[in-house]
Amino acid sequence: MATIKDIAKEVGLSITTVSRALNDYYDVSPKTKKRVKEVAEALNYSPNHIARSLVMKKTKTIGLLVSDLMREGVKDNFTFEVLTGINKCAGDLGYDLVLFSTSSDKQKEKTYTQLCRERRVDGVIISGIKTSDRYLTEVVTSDIPCVLIDIPVNSNSVGFVTTDNVLGAMKAVQHLIELGHTEIAFMNGHDFAYVSKKRLEGYLSALEKAGLPIHNEWIVNGSFLDSTAEKVAYELLQNNPEITAIFCASDLMALGVIKAATKLNIKVPEDLSIVGYDDILLASYVTPSLTTISQDKYQMGYQAAELLISMLKDNTTPHQRLLNTHLVIRESTSLHNKQ
């Protein structure tokens, strides 16, 4: 494998000059540049990123830390779409993306900081961790540049991108209210998710604005899982037949709720309207297709990468980005059936 040394020998110049020629420095004569580049080509030279990184102390690499790239994440390919966006932006801006797999067993032996420092990534993007995760506290205390997805931490070295979850939830509930629903339950995720808090806020605020009473028993947690949501919804619907609509904090849970409804012989949307959240791929394919709050996951990833890289270059810009959501009306909601 040819190195700049080989090129230097070939053209009869010092390696310094070769290095500078290759990197288009201003103080190298065009002639030399041309010769050097020709020889480089002829020798089939590829620069050694490793060597460069070592001396420059920059790897042009960002890490992606996902709590569960593994199995479960496959269902809602939320993570995947985010990853796709990150990857694109990183590529556009000349950065490499390396995946950190945090298998739970490894999590114990290696700290977040160690992980990042060993691999010498310039910065990290973290997605899909709970607010209770031990990594989170580490992030804030470490000084590794970092962007979080959907967790609002803002310090000198860490920023975040998220969507307006309060507004998103409000849109969902308001849609139901406009359809004439007044008995609206809420299937939330879990207490360790920032988005859950915000979506609850939106749910409550929408009801309040409409002058609707709040039933605390109608606010339940489905852990963001379809199976859990199904179980919880089954109970909820069985005990509270007056409910005519449910807003779910994720599409996956909405799917679970539909299953529960089906089992109870409750028709969606005739007897029960359901709004999901996320607009995952499944949402448009299932029957009935899901009315939902759509977030642009690809864009979240793209923005996260862009934010991180901008932080790497110049740490003065604001460290947060807020994305919009929009309501997508499909088949799982309909006008309230006054009997």
Residue ranges binding a copy of itself (CB under 8 A): 1, 46-51, 53-54, 59, 61, 69-71, 73-75, 77, 80-81, 83-84, 87-88, 90-92, 96-99, 101, 103, 106, 113-114, 117-120, 255, 281-282, 285-287, 298
117: helix, strand or coil: helix
Q: Please name the residue that has the structure tokens 């969606």.
A: 268
198: helix, strand or coil: helix
| Residue 42 vs 70, nearer CB to a copy of itself | 70
CB 318 within 8 A of CB 161: no
Per-residue burial over 229-260, b if 16 or more Cβ lie within 10 Å, else e, is bbbbbbebbeeeeebbbbbbbbbbbbbbbbbb
Q: Does 213 bind DNA (CB under 7 A)?
A: no
Q: Which of 10, 37, 52, 312 binds DNA (CB under 7 A)?
A: 52
Least distance in angstroms from the C-beta of 148 to DNA:
28
CB 184 within 8 A of CB 212: yes
Q: Please name the residue that has the structure tokens 């977030």.
A: 295
Question: Binders of DNA among 57-86, rule CB under 7 A?
Answer: 57
259: helix, strand or coil: helix
| Residue 43 vs 327, nearer CB to DNA | 43
Least distance in angstroms from the C-beta of 188 to a copy of itself:
23
Q: Does 27 bind DNA (CB under 7 A)?
A: yes
Q: Which of 47, 91, 241, 318 binds DNA (CB under 7 A)?
A: 47
* Structure-block tokens of residue 272: 């029960």
CB 273 within 8 A of CB 181: yes
User: In whole angstroms, what is the distance from residue 21 CA to residue 207 CA?
Assistant: 66
Q: Does 51 bind DNA (CB under 7 A)?
A: yes
Q: Which one of DNA, a copy of itself, none is in contact with 90 (Cβ closer than 5 to 8 A by kind)?
A: a copy of itself
Among the listed ranges 5-13, 184-192, 233-241, 324-332, the one in contact with DNA (CB under 7 A) is 5-13
Residue ranges of the alpha helices (H) in the chain? 4-11, 15-22, 30-42, 49-56, 78-92, 104-109, 112-119, 134-141, 165-178, 194-209, 226-239, 251-263, 297-313
| Residue 118 vs 242, nearer CB to DNA | 118
Q: Does 42 bind DNA (CB under 7 A)?
A: no
Q: Which one of a copy of itself, DNA, none is in contact with 59 (Cβ closer than 5 to 8 A by kind)?
A: a copy of itself
| Residue 114 vs 238, nearer CB to DNA | 114
Query: Rounded to 5 degrees, what are φ and ψ at 66?
Result: -120, 135
Q: Does 304 bind DNA (CB under 7 A)?
A: no
Q: How far is CA 201 from CA 62, 170, 179, 204, 232, in A?
A: 34, 9, 21, 5, 21
Q: Does 5 bind DNA (CB under 7 A)?
A: yes
Among the listed ranges 11-19, 69-77, 234-242, 301-309, the one in contact with DNA (CB under 7 A) is 11-19
Q: Does 44 bind DNA (CB under 7 A)?
A: no
User: In whole angstroms, what is the distance from residue 279 CA to residue 252 CA?
Assistant: 9
User: In whole angstroms, what is the distance from residue 339 CA to residue 337 CA?
Assistant: 6
48: helix, strand or coil: coil
Q: Does 54 bind DNA (CB under 7 A)?
A: yes
| Residue 56 vs 214, nearer CB to DNA | 56
Q: Which of 23, 262, 317, 324 binds DNA (CB under 7 A)?
A: 23
Least distance in angstroms from the C-beta of 96 to DNA:
16
List contacts with DNA (CB under 7 A): 1, 3-5, 12-17, 19-20, 22-23, 26-32, 45, 47-48, 51-52, 54-57
